[in-house]
Amino acid sequence: MARHDRARDGLALSLVKISDAGKRLIVGRKLRSTQMHETLLPKRIALPVFASDPLSSVAYSPDEIFLTLALAGAVSYSYSWKIGIVIAFVMLVVVASYRQNVQAYQSGGGDYEVATTNLGSTSGLTVASALLVDYVLTVAVSISSAAQYAATAFDPLRGHQVAVAAVAVVFLMAMNLRGVRESGTAFAIPTYLFMTAILGMAAWGFGRHFLAGGLPAAPSADLGLVPEESFVDGFTGLAVGFLLLRAFASGCATLTGVEAIANGVPAFRKPKGKNAATTLLLLGVIATTMALSIVSLANITGVRVAENPSEQLLGPDGNPVGEGYHQDPVVGQLAEVVFDHFSPGFYLVTAATGIILVLAANTAFNGFPVLGSILARDGYLPRQLHTRGDRLAYSNGIVLLAGFAIVLIVAFDAEVTRLIQLYIVGVFVSFTASQAGMVRHWTRHLRTERNGAARLRMQRSRSINAFGLLVTATVLVVVLITKFLAGAWIAILAMLMWFALMKAIHRHYARVSSELEASMEDQGLPSRIHAVVLVSKLHKPTMRALAYARAGRANVLEAITVDVDDQATMELMDEWDRREIPVPLRVLSSPYREVTRPIVDYVQSIRRGSPRDVVTVYIPEYVVGHWWEQVLHNQSALRLKGRLLFTPGVMVTSVPYQLASSAAAAARAERAESAPTYGRRRRGGMS
More confident residue, 22 or 559: 559
What is the reported pLDDT for 24?
47
Task: Report CA dihedral (65, 70, 74, 78) to the nearest 10 degrees.
Answer: -20
DSSP secondary-structure letter at 77? Answer: G
Residue 214, φ and ψ in degrees, nearest 5: 105, 160
Residue 527: name the closest of 656, 413, 613 by CA.
613
Give the range with max mean pLDDT: 2-6, 486-490, 541-545, 609-613: 541-545
Check residue 406 and give its pLDDT.
92
- Higher-confidence residue: 329 or 546? 546
pLDDT tens profile 605-614: 998 888 888 8
pLDDT of residue 19: 45
Q: Are 587 and 563 in contact (CB under 8 A)?
A: yes
Cα atoms found within 13 Å of the Cα of residue 123, Cβ hemisphere only: 18
The pLDDT value recorded for residue 5 is 45
At residue 378, does pLDDT exceed 60?
A: yes
To which H or E segment does residue 23 belong?
A: helix 2-27
| Angstrom distance (rounded) from CA 324 to CA 337 | 22
Burial class (CB in 10 A: 0-12, 13-18, 19+), 2: exposed
Q: Above 50 in pLDDT, residue 25?
A: no
Looking at residue 664, its pLDDT comes to 58
Report the alpha-carbon angle 274-278-281, nearest 5: 140
C-alpha to C-alpha distance for 138 and 360, rounded to whole angstroms? 8
Most confident of 171-185, 454-468, 663-677: 454-468
Res 629 pLDDT > 90? no
What's the rounded Cα separation, in Å, for the pair 307 and 271? 46
Q: Tell me which amino acid residue 493 is.
A: L
Residue-wise pLDDT tens digits, 73-98:
888 888 898 999 999 999 889 888 88
CB-count burial class (<10 Å; 0-12, 13-18, 19+) for 507: exposed
Higher pLDDT, 420 or 189: 189
The residues, ordered by sequence, that sit 6+ positions from 599 with a Cβ below 8 Å of its Cβ are: 534, 560, 562, 588, 617, 640
pLDDT of 665 reads 56
pLDDT at position 687: 39
Class of domain 525-683: alpha beta
Q: What local confidence, expressed as pLDDT, does residue 443 receive?
A: 92
In this structure, what is the dihedral angle of CA atoms 166, 168, 174, 178, given to the nearest 10 degrees? Answer: -150
Question: Which residues are 616's β-sheet partners?
Answer: 531, 651
Distances (CA, A) of 668 to 3, 82, 683: 15, 71, 17
Q: 234 pLDDT exceeds 70?
A: no
Using pLDDT thresholds of 50, 70 and 90, give the confidence band for residue 184. Answer: low
Q: At what angle do helices 121-153 and 343-377 cross, to 10 degrees?
A: 160
241 CB burial (10 A radius; 0-12, 13-18, 19+): exposed
Most confident of 2-11, 66-75, 383-392: 66-75
Domain 38-506 is of which CATH architecture? Answer: Up-down Bundle (1.20)
pLDDT band for position 214 (cuts 50, 70, 90): confident
Mean pLDDT of 523-546: 86
Residue 659 has pLDDT above 60, yes or no: yes
Q: Are 254 and 93 in contact (CB under 8 A)?
A: no
Residue 253, pLDDT above cutoff 50: yes
Instruction: Specify the higher pLDDT residue, 672 or 259.
Output: 259
With bands split at pLDDT 50, 70 and 90, how would you rate the model's confidence at 682? very low
Residue of higher predicted confidence among 677 and 263: 263
pLDDT value at position 584?
94
What is the rounded average pLDDT of the residues 165-193? 75
Q: Quick check: 271 pLDDT over 90?
A: no
pLDDT of residue 4: 44
> What does the domain layout of the chain look like in residue ranges?
38-506, 525-683
pLDDT surpasses 80 at 239: no
pLDDT of residue 431: 87
Query: Residue 673 pLDDT > 80, yes or no?
Result: no
Q: What's phi and psi for 560, nearest 5 deg?
A: -130, 145
Q: Tens of pLDDT along 221-231?
A: 888 888 877 66
Say whether pLDDT at 153 is over 50: yes
Poorest-confidence range of 87-91, 238-242, 289-293, 648-652? 238-242
Residue 126 bridge partners (DSSP):
none
> Residue 389: what pLDDT?
58
Q: Give the max Cα distance, the chain.
A: 114
CB 433 within 8 A of CB 119: yes
CA 57 to CA 294: how far, in whole Å? 12
Q: What are phi and psi of 426, to 5 degrees?
A: -60, -40
Compute the half-sphere exposure of residue 262: CA atoms within 13 Å on the CB side of its CA: 30
* pLDDT value of residue 6: 44
Q: What is the pTM of this model?
A: 0.68
Amino acid making up residue 422: L
**Residue 350 reports pLDDT greater than 60:** yes
Could you tell me the pLDDT band of residue 564, with boundaries at 50, 70 and 90?
A: confident
CA distance 77 to 70: 7
Averaged over 13-42, what is the pLDDT?
48
* HSE of 107, CA atoms in CB hemisphere, 13 A: 12
**Average pLDDT for 572-584:** 92
The mean pLDDT value for 59-68 works out to 85
Mean pLDDT estimate for the chain: 80
What are φ and ψ of residue 251, in 5° steps? Answer: -70, -20
* Rounded Cα–Cα distance for residues 363 and 361 (Å): 5
Burial of 618 (0-12, 13-18, 19+ CB in 10 A): buried
Torsion of CA 532, 536, 540, 545, to 10 degrees: -10
State mean pLDDT over 231-242.
69
**pLDDT exceeds cutoff 80 at 465:** yes
List residues bridging with 320 in a β-sheet: 314
3-class DSSP assignment, residue 286: helix
Predicted local confidence at residue 645, as pLDDT: 82
- Phi/psi at 186 (5° precision): -65, -30
What residues pair up with 230 in beta bridges, in sequence order? none
pLDDT band at 503 (very low <50, low <70, confident <90, very high): very high
Interatomic CA distance for residues 21 and 41, integer angstroms = 28
